């Protein structure tokens, strides 16, 4: 057997490499959104309005059993996928970005670009996860000693979530 070369792939720091953008669904005239849509004045950068744990996008997939007559093992497959999204953000100043934008019951487009320097302009070919979400009720979080006022808000997808979607110009 030949000697195996030790491979340690490079990686990207998470600090400074996330961009979260949001805008009312009504601001988009075509779908899916383009780089121009995300560079428009109606789109807000919400990245640094969030707490350290303030962005959550998870997904779960149902199991589908495929039991066969007299087969001693139950086969299975993947079923429907459910996306769960939420924000925890700071509020209480005249400069608030998230609190006035995420009105309960309104449709919002939220887009996340991962592993790209935050300062890099949004451009054609950028990969984004994009979701049209309905904003849920705002929950005021209880204060902590030496803390800041925050709210948490659940978001419910209202269309298929686009993952690793390459933006057109």
Average pLDDT, the chain: 94
State pLDDT tens for residues 28-76: 988 999 999 999 989 999 999 999 999 999 999 999 999 999 999 999 9
* pLDDT reported for residue 139: 98
CATH classification of 18-166, choosing from 2.40.128, 1.20.120, 3.30.70, 2.40.30? 2.40.30
Q: What DSSP state is assigned to residue 149?
A: -
* pLDDT reported for residue 1: 61
The pLDDT confidence band at residue 7, using thresholds 50, 70 and 90, is: confident
State pLDDT tens for residues 93-108: 999 999 999 999 999 9
State pLDDT tens for residues 111-146: 999 999 999 999 999 999 999 999 999 999 998 899
Q: Is the pLDDT of residue 2 over 90?
A: no
Query: Prior bond to 13 cis, omega within 30?
Result: no
Contacts of 147 (CB under 8 A, 6+ apart): none
Closest among 159, 34, 46, 164 to 102, alpha carbons compared: 46
Cα separation, 126 vs 47, in Å, equals: 17
Contact 52, 89 (CB under 8 A): no
Pair of tokens at residue 110: 């939220």
Contacts of 1 (CB under 8 A, 6+ apart): none
* pLDDT reported for residue 14: 85
* Helix spans in the chain (H): 35-38, 98-101
Cα separation, 126 vs 31, in Å, equals: 16
- What's the pTM? 0.88
- 158 phi/psi in degrees, rounded to 5: -115, -5
* pLDDT reported for residue 84: 97
Domain ranges of the chain: 18-166
Contact 118, 97 (CB under 8 A): no
User: Strand runs (DSSP E) across 40-126, as ranges?
Assistant: 44-45, 50-66, 75-90, 107-114
């Amino acid at each position: 057997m030949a000697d195996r070369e030790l491979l340690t792939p490079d990686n990207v720091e998470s600090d400074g490499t996330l961009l979260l953008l949001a805008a009312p669904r009504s601001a988009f005239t075509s779908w899916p959104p383009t780089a121009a849509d995300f560079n428009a004045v109606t789109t807000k950068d919400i990245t640094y309005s969030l707490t350290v744990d303030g962005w959550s996008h998870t997904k779960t997939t149902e199991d589908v059993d495929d039991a066969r007559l007299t087969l001693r093992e139950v086969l299975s497959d993947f079923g429907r996928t459910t996306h769960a999204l939420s924000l925890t953000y700071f509020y209480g100043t005249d400069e608030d970005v998230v609190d006035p934008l995420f009105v309960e019951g309104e449709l919002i487009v939220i887009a996340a670009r991962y592993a790209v320097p935050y300062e890099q302009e949004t451009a054609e070919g950028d990969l984004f996860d994009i979701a049209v979400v309905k904003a849920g009720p705002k929950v005021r979080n209880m204060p902590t000693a030496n803390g800041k006022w925050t709210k948490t808000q659940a978001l419910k997808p209202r269309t298929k979530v686009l993952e690793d979607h390459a933006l057109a110009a």
